[in-house]
Every structure is written in C-alpha cells, then in structure tokens.
Chains A and B, each alone.
Chain A
Amino acid sequence: MSSSNGGYYLPQPSHWPIVGSIGMFLLLGGFGIFLGGGSAIGMYLGAVVLIIMLFGWFGTVINESVSGKYNDQVDMSFRWSMGWFIFSEVMFFAAFFGALFYARMWAVPWLGGAGNNVMTNELLWSGFDAAWPTNGPGEVGGPFEIMGAWGIPAINTLILLTSGVTLTWSHWGLKKNDRTQMILGLMATVALGVLFLGLQAYEYIHAYQDLNLKLTSGMYGSTFFLLTGFHGLHVTLGATMLLIILLRSMKGHFSEHNHFAFEAVAWYWHFVDVVWLGLFVFVYWLI
C-alpha cells in the first residue's frame, strides 16, 4: 500500500485542540445553563472560541498544505478520515430515521390496537385510529396540516440534485486545470445551497404560521423537524465549507494533484444530497 514513510509529516505540538475543547465546553455548558433558564453568555463565548479555533486550526493546515508538507500518504490519511467521518454522520441520521420507521411501523399502530395491543387502545386511548401522519392519541400540539411533497420540497430536491451536478462539473474543471469552470461551478453550487436554505426557511415559517405544524406537533412534528432540521444544519455547514473552498480556489490553492479539501467537501455535499433524497421519500412523499 504505502511505499515509504520517510516523508510523513508529523505536526509540531499545537494549542488548537485545547482551545477547541474549551470552546466546546463553554458552548455546550453555556447552552445547558441557558436551557435551565440562565444566561446565554457562556454559549456565545463558546461559539466565538470555537470559531477562532476553526480558523486557527484550518489556517495552519492550509499553510502546511500549501507549503507542500503533505505527501501522498498524508493525503490518503485525510481521505480515509473524511470517509469514515461521513459514515459516522450517516449513522447519526440513521438514529432519527430509525425513530421515524419505528413510530410508523410499530408505535403508532400499537397505540391504535394493532398486534396484541388491543388493550392498549381500549384501556388507554380508546377512539384513537392509527394513521400516519399523527400527533398521537393525545393530539399533542393540536390539529395540524401536513407539508405537501410536490411544492417546495420537490423544488428543493431539484435544487440539490442540480447542485450535485454543478459541483461535479466544477470538479471536472479542477481536474483538467480549467480554473474558470471550477470557480463557476462552485459559485453555482453555493448559490443553489443558499437558495435551498432560503426555501427551507420559508417552508418552516409556512408550517408554523399556516399549518400549525410545529416541533411540538406530536411524533410527526418531532420527526419532521428533527430530520429536516439536522439536514438543514448540515446543508448550512456544507455550504459554508463550499464557500471556503471557493475562496481557496480563487486564491489558487488547488492543483490537479493536490486538492483533498475540495474533494472532501464534495463528498460531504453529496452525502447531504443523499440524505435529502431519503427525507424527501420518507418524510414528505410516502405518507
């Protein structure tokens, strides 16, 4: 596999990790205090520290990369790591998809008396007819309407799919050393990502104001907002990373041989894309 270890770059001691830990601690601890009814100051402070850390750490990495310290083997380490990181993200979403399937296939039917749960329905929730979508026998959050699949969600699907295409086009540009194509492709991708987010935000407002579909709308609201919400968060992250890659492309950081960061972000973007397809099918369409 590897031919020589001679040039494997081993970084000097670094203070960025500890800064990151402190930032994370402040952010989450501050959030905890905030949730307990306290001040949000720790949270903001933590966010600032984390952002400083990210700039510092990635700045260092970019410098090292640009100054040619990374050989092919280092590049390969990055690739494996990014791949497995994305796999971990897949598993994170799997937990929420699992919750969705469990509720649809088991919990809700049981509440309606399916299987050997006749008595569950009779004694505790009589009159509840199991159906999906639902906010449960307690009608938690009050009556709501569902979000149709063929409006904005379908458009968003198209947007994300297109963004996948523009990103690939940009990648081709990179590979054949066509900078204009690469930069244009990236710009289009970022723009599509932002457009997606804008529509998603619009949709949320619509859900809250017109459909009475809220985070508190029982199981349907819970799964709907957690799945789409975490996805949206990942799109935000992905778009931010794309933006950085765009800026770095303009600075000429990538060559046809050395462009791990570009590809990592592209993988990530495609992953976000695939998650959306799952969402579109199981959250919006097949209900």
Chain B
Amino acid sequence: MFAKTLRRALSSVWGAVLLLSASTAIAGFGDTLNLREGVTATSKTVYGLHMLIFWICVVACAAVFAVLIYSLFAHRKSKGAVPATFHESTTVEVIWTTIPFLVLVGMAVPATKALLALEDTRDADMSILVTGYQWKWKYDYIDGAAEGISFFSNLDAKSNEMRQLGSGANPADHEHYLLDVDNRVVVPINKKIRFLITANDVIHSWWLPDLGWKQDAIPGFVNDGWTELTEPGVYRGKCAELCGKDHGFMPIVLEAMTEDDYNQWIADQKAGAAAAAASATQTWTLDDLVARGESVYNTNCVACHQANGQGIPGVFPAITGSAIATGDIGGHIDIVMNGKAGTAMQAFAGQLNDVDMAAVVTYQRNALGNSVGDMVQPSEIAALR
C-alpha cells in the first residue's frame, strides 16, 4: 500500500518535471525523454528492468538528497547551530554498508534473468548475416527460403545529399532524415530470427532500439543476437560504434512483414538478381557504363573520394588525375577489386557485381575530369574473379 502510494507520488513528481520541461519549449521535448519500450518481448523486459533500476536510483537519490538538504538548512551556523562532536560509529557504518548491498542484490536478480534470456540465440528459425562496412551494412540470408539473397544497405540518397556540409538543406524536410536506407533488411513476423553480426573493416555496432539490444560487429568474429517480431512495421536505428568519418551516417532499417508479403519479397529479390546476372553477360557501350558508373560511384565511393573526385588531401587521394585511375587499367581494376591493405581503401570485389565494378572503373577513367577513353566489360571482371 505504502509502496504504491509512494510510487504514485513519485510518478507525479516525475510527471511534473516532464511537464515543466515540455512546457518550456516547442513540441518534441516530451517524446524524447525515456527509453523506448520497443516492440519485442526482449525490449519490453529491458524496458521494465530499466524502469525498475531507474526508480530504485530515484528513491535512493531522493533519500540521500533529502537528508543532505535537511541538514543544509537545519544545521547552519547562521541559525545558531552548534557543532556536535561525534565522528565515528561502527554500527552505522555497518548498516549503511549492508543496505546498499541488499538493494544491489535486488537489482541483480532480475538483471541476471533478463540477460540470460537476451543471450539465448538457440533454436532460431532463420539466420541473417549482417556485415558492417565503412559505412554501410550488408545483409546475407544464409538459410531458409531466402537463402542466397544478399545486398548492401546504404544511407538513402536524399539524406546523403542533405547531410553534406553546407548543403543548406533543412533536415525537417525529410521524414526520416539520417534514418533511411536504400535497401531495407526484411524479416517475417512470428519467427525467431538470429542475426549473425560481423564486420569487414573496423568495429561497428548493429542497433535497433525497438528490438532492445545492440551487438558489436567485430571484424574476424561473428557475434549473434536474436529477435522475434509480432507486428509488421518498419524499425529504425543507427550504427552505434565509432567507425570513422561517416559513423553517423550508416543507419539500419528493418522491415517486418507477414509471411505472405515476405515470400513475395523473396520472389522479387530473386527475379532482380536473375536480371542482373543476365546483364552481366551482355556487351556494354562506354556511355552506358559511364552512366551506370556514376550512380555506383555516388553510392560507394563519394564518401571518401568526394563527389568531384578530389578526395580529401592527406586522407583520401583524388581520383581526378590519379596515376592509378589514368594509368594501366589492370592496376586500376586491381585496387578497386582488392583494395589496399592497411588503408581505408577496401576490397570492393565482394561488394559490387560485375556490371557495377566495370561501370565504376570505366566511370572513374572517363569522368571526374579524367578522359582515358578505355573501358572494361563486365565479362572481363567476371573472368578476374
């Protein structure tokens, strides 16, 4: 009874604080005050645990502050307080060592339960391999009906344009500024999905607040996490581990679908892949390659080599006039396919298909101020793999 009243009283205090903050300004303050409850059983457990420890801390904090504030007022010299002389008591020391300890045990028990559930990735219905790259995500469906589907997920083009320094764009013009991607990762509802998480270059972290956890993507190791969604919907998050220049610009968007929609999505993906494979065998003209190369470049290369091909002096080399991009085409293809070890220039062989690879190399040689005039066909790239 007492606990309940206390809790209610405290909630209203908290409510008042929130209201006060909300009323001090325009809209929007109120929505961003607390942890999101999320949409999965895990996230709700974590939220519950968060609220529990939050209130324990609020109560403990309030108790300590109350005593302090009381003595600040009551025991001041200006009110004629005369100092007492006591300065030791083993009894109280023991008491106030024991109480916090018990409080902590009270927190640790539910926390242990929650953690064990969170980490239990056994008996999953399907697995998706998530790989972090500077600065995008790759998703590979490694089993089940979707097996073989594999794609990259980049920051959407509109956000990407708007987020350039000095673009003058107003972020409010974009409903999901910095939280949108070109290709969403799609999962069916009511299935236990295991995410296998790794990275290609540096450490990233895959985080969807609505699922209730984040998991670091460590190059060379595979971590895992799981979720089971019950409602179709779109969930958004961001890379949560500093991974270099564009760490702030590698969002994660997950779409949960009903079983039927999911199967349709799989069919569409497979059809698209077949079409891409077909186009790789045909012979392309220079203009077509350059045209396609431009969009590949803008998705994959601008982050470092910049839209005008000038790079960033001292950090990322210019493509314009680069000895490699205007020299022997074999060397050019090599650095793009295989990257350069120990630098941020990664191997793109696994990221770009034959057409895109041929296109971007041809583009770099014949645009951005370069005009070498030669080109490479997708079939030649295929032969190099």
Contacts and interface: CB of A to CB of B under 8 A. Distances in A.
Interface of A is mostly: helix
A119 B198 CA distance: 10
B180 to A, nearest CB: 29
A76 to B, nearest CB: 33
Interface string A3-44: 000000000000000000000000000000000000000000
Give the size range of A's interface with the partner.
under 10
Contacts of A70: none
A123 B221 contact: no
A119 B224 contact: yes
B56 interface: no
Contacts of B222: 117, 119-120, 123-124
Nearest to B196: A119
Contacts of A279: none
Nearest to B220: A124
Centre residue among B121, B129, B142, B222 by max chain A CB count within 10 A:
B222
A210 B378 CA distance: 46
Interface residues of B, number: 9
Nearest to A118: B222
Contacts of A124: 198, 220-222
Interface string B320-350: 0000000000000000000000000000000
Contacts of A110: 221
Contacts of A119: 196, 222, 224
Contacts of A47: none
Contacts of B221: 110-111, 117, 120, 124
B360 to A, nearest CB: 26
B117 to A, nearest CB: 15
A123 B220 contact: no
B224 A116 contact: yes
A110 B198 CA distance: 14
Interface string B119-155: 0010000000100000000000010000000000000
Nearest to A110: B221
Interface in B207-240: 220-222, 224
Nearest to B140: A123
Nearest to B197: A119
11 contacts: A110-B221, A111-B221, A116-B121, A117-B221, A119-B222, A120-B198, A120-B220, A120-B221, A120-B222, A123-B198, A124-B222
Interface of A: 110-111, 116-117, 119-120, 123-125
Given A119-B196, A123-B142, 4 more contacts: A117-B221, A123-B222, A124-B198, A125-B220
6 nearest A-B pairs in the assembled complex, by CB-CB distance = A120-B222, A119-B222, A120-B221, A119-B196, A123-B222, A124-B222
